[in-house]
A = this chain, B = another copy of it.
Amino acid sequence: MLKVGVIGASGYSGEQLLKLLLAHPRVTLAAVTSRSQAGKPLSLVAPSLRGQDRGLTFVDSDASALAASDIDLFFLALPHGAAAEFAKVLVPAGKRVIDLSADFRIADLAVYEKYYGKHHAPELLPKARFVHPELTPPAWKTEAALIAAPGCYPTSVLTPLVPLVRAGNIISREHIVVNSYSGVSGAGKKAEEMYLYVERAESIKAYGLTKHRHLAEIEEQLSANAGGRCIVIQFNPHLAPMRRGIATTITVPAAPGATIDMLYAAWKSTYEGRPFVQVLPSGETPDTAHVTGTNRVDMSAVLDSRTGNFVITSVVDNLVKGASGQAVQIMNLWCGFEETVGLL
């Protein structure tokens, strides 16, 4: 049994992560920390865990004490900034660290600081790896000490697009338009008027147009997979009246001569045999409700002969494949477990 700890688990992703780890047959949840909730039983803060929490209590977040413990692997479910502070202590102590925040997702320090402000552990960036479990080549499993799990929007965008930019002859690198619609849990557990039930029910609303932070991560990954040629996308995020789920619709011109079969061939060669990426037939469209609670990306595409565009749609559960489930999948692969253990 692998001993794991979760640092900063009082938000929605943290709750989902605890749920997965408590039911995971190969791990022991040895410590759960939260500054604001220290001393409280898990199930008091996250009542969905009643009867399942093995009597665990939130403890205060003391990085040195955790570094000195016999815990093998830590998940950081903290805001950006705070995550780097913990990584700075845990990684040098030889712990494996999977970070769910943005702190180590972006290799280019200048880009990070433009979107997020000062970085608190830039010295760790060379040791960190951004790992999309189906896309990142497997060498990371032995090379890395610190894994950055992809964000929710980026997972919904990169999973369909990376195989296509890699192929080089399927899609245009220009005029890529991404519209994403996120359930409200994507905003975190924030007691703000904007996220009240009465405000968000029956409501769709764009936000963060032209400057959403996930842009940095999406474009860096796309560009890296395009042989370094810079890819700039239009990314339009929205809030939708759901608890969970992201629905992303991507419009991109087909490259000259590209066909829908070429697109599907690129997807199949990348995802064949990978249970957590489900490629639907062209003409069938994925549905956020079908992936709720699962670690899947469902996706499909059509070629619109009138416009010459591919229209690609993908869906994820933002708290599972978009956050905690993907982190568990990374742990499974990193620690030599079966990829799907503890996940749906």
Which of B50, B236, B245 contacts A202 (CB under 8 A)?
B245
Query: A315 CB to closest chain B CB, in angstroms?
Result: 7
Q: Are B236 and A311 in contact (CB under 8 A)?
A: yes
What is the oligomeric copy number? 4
Q: Are B285 and A209 in contact (CB under 8 A)?
A: yes
Contacting B at CB under 8 A, from A283-338, are 285-294, 296, 298, 302, 304-307, 309, 311, 313, 315
A52: chain B residues within 8 A (beta carbon): 275, 294, 344
A185: chain B residues within 8 A (beta carbon): 198
Q: Are A205 and B242 in contact (CB under 8 A)?
A: no
Q: Are B290 and A47 in contact (CB under 8 A)?
A: yes
Nearest chain-B residue to A203 (Cβ)?
A: B289
Given the contacts A179-B179, A197-B201, A209-B311, A50 and B288 also touching, CB distance less than 8 Å:
no
> In the docked arrangement, what's the CA distance between A201 and B302, Å?
25
Given the contacts A234-B311, A311-B209, A181 and B184 also touching, CB distance less than 8 Å:
no
Chain A interface (Cβ within 8 Å of chain B)?
A: 12, 19, 23, 25, 47-48, 50-52, 175, 177, 179, 181, 183-185, 189-193, 195-207, 209-210, 232-234, 236, 238, 240-245, 247, 249, 251, 253, 275-276, 278, 285-294, 296, 298, 302, 304-307, 309, 311, 313, 315, 344
